[in-house]
Amino acid sequence: MQAITNKGNSVNMGGRNEKSVSRVLLEQLYNLGVKYAFMNSGTDYAPIIESLAEMSMENIPRTEVILVPHEGPAVAMAIGYYMITHTPAAVMVHTTPGTANSLNNVLNAQSMNIPLMLFAGRTPVTEKAVFGSKEIPVHWNQELRDQGTMLRQFTKWDWEHRFGEQIVEELARAYEVAMSDPKGPVYMTLPRERISEKAPPASPVRKPSPAEPVVPSNETIQKVASLITGSRKPLIITSQLGRNLGAPEELLKLSEFMAIPVAQNFYYMNFPTTSQMFVGPIGGKLFNEYMKSADLLLVLDVDVPWFPNSVEPDPDATVIHLDVDPMKERMPTWGFRADIRIRADAQTALKMLNGEVALKLAKSVETGKTVKERRSRVSSDHEAMMASYMKEAKDHKDDTPIDPRWLSYCIGSILDDRKIVFTETVRSPFYEYAPISSFGRTFSTPPFGGLGWSMGAALGAKLASPDSDVIVLLGDGSYMYNEPIASHFVSRASKLPIMTVIYNNHAWMASRGPVAKMYPEGKAVKTHNFPGTVLSPSPEFEHVAQSCGAYTMRVEKSDDVMPALEDSLDHMHEKENQVLLNVILKHP
């Protein structure tokens, strides 16, 4: 390491580069195609900040750094940005506190296979005589024996930078691992002394090469195609197929061609709810009916395909699980059975499968008759299910306080191809009452379920797609989890106007619902007393958003919902300003 007297970014070290390691790091991020870095800096970031200023002064192209004053929204912005662009972003946080504050959304990213590059400063190791060594009390208190262990269970790869000669290769390695299936977050720590050093002479930049998608064998595809065409009551189950933009189109082709019903979770929009082959969410009433009678289950990119306490496949049914990770290796317990497990990229596999199924169907008159009969039955069930949902929402049109189903129905009526929606309403239903046909623009709470991701994700999506209207739907509890001051600050400072709609029922239904389910005759239900779940008196959330310049409305009457939504959209378009609607709902 360089001596403490060798300060600054321009000291000639003899045989070393004039650039610091921190500058080479920033240049390599740009070379990798990482367009944005969401930063929450600390004392460890002095070399990074100096290098950014230096590059700005020299007008050097670089990754654009966006300040995010809390690590949770910073990671969430990387999640939302990837969901729209399918290219990773970087997140830069400070030492152990910043890493700790990042954990919730790192876990959310892991559970949705979102690749992101998380960098954290490393508290200086040395106590004196080295440039960048410890100088204030936190430099001793924040030091860990192994900083990476804080999130090693939740990342695909972690590393501490040690030598300037390695920085370019380290970043290429991080990118490759993050972007190879199953994709996920990676973590790298940057000791302050090491990134302050002068870099070695520039070496050729190696273009990273993530692993190619896994392709199933033709023999496997033929076997699965035979099972599908020979099945009388097949059912497709999916939850994360939509992370791959081309896969939902292939699934739609297979489902509608063969009249196969599809159920889904809504982490992504995997299948249009407007298709007559859609039979509701996993765990729903119609899904359970189809599950019980199915003779073939095709499980595609799913974390939890059914709820064993409620329903399980018929013992004689064949279960095929196709997934980038069909063993769910990150989950300690995962007992869902499968007769055939296929590790493969769903888009590739479904495209192959569609071709093979079409050939087999053309050769079988009997299969054609089965498909025709099944199409009639599934279409009828779908239409009855959707009509029931729509009737349910409209039946509560005039309720006061507002019913969440009516609010969701109204939001559904304003959706079009320009809208991107993030939902974190938890127990307030949305997708049942808002028919959606487009892919890649509607996202829900990740499987990990860590609250506090949707506003940051919406900001990342707006950054990725500035011409889109980005809407966040979240409960009052979820809103508080989202570090709203930090999120509203970024919206204003970075000119990323989004619409936030709060489903405000003054209650923590995520905690309250399981009590009623586990103890339906218990004291809490009988006395209507659920300690620790009441969010009343409710804060005036409008004032929180107003402090960051937002246009806000408090909506308390059902008749005011549609006008408020339309007025908010008009304002966001005309003023290019963020909007918040605090919608007061029934208290359960």
- Mean local confidence (pLDDT), 43-50: 92
362, 337, 350: which is closest to 262 by C-alpha? 350
State phi, psi for 279 to the nearest 5 degrees.
-120, 30
pLDDT exceeds cutoff 60 at 16: no
- Does 281 map to a domain? yes
476-524: pLDDT as tens digits? 999 999 999 999 999 999 999 999 999 999 987 778 888 888 999 999 8
CB-CB contact of 437 with 274 (8 Å): yes
Q: At 407, list the tokens.
A: 């609010």
pLDDT exceeds cutoff 60 at 2: no
| Whole-number pLDDT of residue 176 | 97
State phi, psi for 166 to the nearest 5 degrees.
-100, -10
State phi, psi for 231 to the nearest 5 degrees.
-90, 145
Same-domain status, 400 and 374: no
| Whole-number pLDDT of residue 1 | 38
Same-domain status, 448 and 580: yes
End-to-end alpha carbon distance in the chain? 62
| Whole-number pLDDT of residue 13 | 39
- Mean local confidence (pLDDT), 109-138: 91
pLDDT exceeds cutoff 60 at 273: yes
pLDDT exceeds cutoff 60 at 5: no
> How many whole angstroms separate alpha carbon 130 and alpha carbon 149?
26
> How many whole angstroms separate alpha carbon 563 and alpha carbon 100?
42
- Does 9 map to a domain? no
- Does 202 map to a domain? no
- Mean local confidence (pLDDT), 558-575: 97
Integer-rounded Cα radius of gyration of the chain: 26
Residue 106 identity (one-letter amino acid)? V
| Whole-number pLDDT of residue 564 | 98
| Whole-number pLDDT of residue 532 | 86
- DSSP designation for 198: B
Same-domain status, 148 and 31: yes
- Does 166 map to a domain? yes
DSSP E strand stretches across 345-441: 419-424
- Does 284 map to a domain? yes
pLDDT exceeds cutoff 60 at 7: no
DSSP E strand stretches across 152-282: 157-160, 186-191, 234-238, 262-264, 278-281
More confident residue, 306 or 8: 306
Same-domain status, 453 and 560: yes
Same-domain status, 181 and 223: no
**Structure pTM?**
0.94
Q: At 584, list the tokens.
A: 């007061």
Number of domains in the chain: 3
CB-CB contact of 472 with 454 (8 Å): yes
Same-domain status, 440 and 490: yes
- Mean local confidence (pLDDT), 525-546: 92
- Please give the full DSSP string across 122-140, using - where no structure is assigned: E----SSSBTT---STHHH
pLDDT exceeds cutoff 90 at 143: no
| Whole-number pLDDT of residue 461 | 98
> How many whole angstroms separate alpha carbon 140 and alpha carbon 162?
19
- Mean local confidence (pLDDT), 460-489: 97
| Whole-number pLDDT of residue 3 | 38
> How many whole angstroms separate alpha carbon 483 and alpha carbon 481?
6
pLDDT exceeds cutoff 90 at 363: no
317: CATH: 3.40.50.1220
Same-domain status, 307 and 437: no
| Whole-number pLDDT of residue 206 | 75
> How many whole angstroms separate alpha carbon 105 and alpha carbon 169?
27
> How many whole angstroms separate alpha carbon 180 and alpha carbon 188?
17
| Whole-number pLDDT of residue 203 | 66
| Whole-number pLDDT of residue 121 | 93
382-398: pLDDT as tens digits? 999 999 999 999 999 99
Q: Among 287-296, 321-330, 336-345, 510-519, name the one with the lowest average pLDDT.
A: 510-519
Which residue segment(s) compose the domain that 330 sits in?
Answer: 218-381
Same-domain status, 323 and 407: no
- Does 52 map to a domain? yes
Same-domain status, 85 and 145: yes
Same-domain status, 416 and 445: yes
pLDDT exceeds cutoff 90 at 14: no
Q: From the CB of residue 85, how many other CB atoms can be counted at a distance below 10 Å?
A: 16
State phi, psi for 398 to the nearest 5 degrees.
-100, 10
- Mean local confidence (pLDDT), 249-261: 98
- Does 11 map to a domain? no
Same-domain status, 376 and 400: no
pLDDT exceeds cutoff 70 at 15: no
- Mean local confidence (pLDDT), 516-535: 89
572: CATH: 3.40.50.970
**142 pLDDT band (50/70/90 cuts)?**
confident
> How many whole angstroms separate alpha carbon 57 and alpha carbon 85?
29
State phi, psi for 207 to the nearest 5 degrees.
-70, 125
User: How far from 63 is each of 31, 71, 329, CA to CA, in Å?
Assistant: 9, 19, 34
pLDDT exceeds cutoff 50 at 144: yes
Same-domain status, 246 and 116: no
Cβ-based neighbours of 494, under 8 Å, separated by 6 or more: 66, 459, 463
- Does 4 map to a domain? no
Domain boundary residue, one of 164, 196, 228: 196
pLDDT exceeds cutoff 70 at 401: yes
